[in-house]
Amino acid sequence: MAVRPVLKMGEPLLRQVAVAVQRFDAQLTELVADMNDTMRALSGAGLAAPQIGVSLRVVIFEVTSNPRYPDVAPIPYTVLVNPELTSLGDELEEGWEGCLSVPGLRGLVPRLRKLRYRGFDIEGKPIDRTVEGFHARVVQHEVDHLDGILYPQRMRDLRNFGFEEALVGRMTPMPE
Ligand code: NI
């Protein structure tokens, strides 16, 4: 287990489409342990394998209740392998996002309000959840990483993009 360096926007690997996991083996366990250590060390809400330089379709996320983010409902720690998203309705919601690969910045991003996600946990057991709001946002953000997409590419108006400390007062604080 180790905290690994997080690749930053501009690194070519972050623009690649990641490859599906074929085996739920010790190598996957080790990868997820490193992702978990890295996410926690940087107080992130989620992390995708490409962010630590591994182009595989694995994401993790977790949001614990935090007085800094009173509007954000907790999300249980989830390892999601080979995820598939299905939209439930076409309602979009704008919300502020950050990313450990785009440190210090925040942007207002439209996302599907409600969706179903399927995939597998670290042992290969199926996961099937219907979620909305911030949980749906986090999943869309992380799965975008697997398709080589960073949140600024999803923004409609770059005037709503800036450094966290400069956006204080305008922005609803959100975990990265
Ligand atoms: Ni991110």
Q: pLDDT tens digit string along 6-43?
A: 999 999 999 999 999 999 999 999 999 999 999 999 99
Distance 120 CA to ligand 1 centre (A): 20
- Distance (angstroms) between ligand 1 centre and the Cα of 101 equals 6
Tokens of 176: 């990265």
* pTM over the 0.85 mark: yes
Q: What is the pLDDT of residue 172?
A: 74
- Catalytic annotation, pick one of 84, 91, 97, 142: 142
Distance (angstroms) between ligand 1 centre and the Cα of 162 equals 16
Please write the tens of the pLDDT for every residue from 90-118. Answer: 999 999 999 999 999 999 999 999 999 99
pLDDT of 106? 96
Model confidence at 149: pLDDT above 80? yes
Structural domains of the chain, with CATH: 12-167 (3.90.45.10)
Residue 96: its pLDDT value, please?
95
Residue ranges with CB less than 5 Å from ion ligand 1: 99
pLDDT in tens, 123-134: 999 999 999 999
User: Catalytic site residue 142?
Assistant: yes
Instruction: Report the separation in Å between the CA atom of 136 and the middle of ligand 1, taken as the mean of its atom positions.
Output: 14
Ranges 2-16, 140-154, 158-172: which has the least confidence? 158-172
| The pair of three-digit structure tokens given for residue 107, joined into one six-digit string | 């942007």
pLDDT of residue 72 exceeding 90, the answer is no
Instruction: Report the C-alpha gap between 127 and 84 in whole angstroms.
Output: 10
Cα dihedral 138/22/148/152 (nearest 10): 10
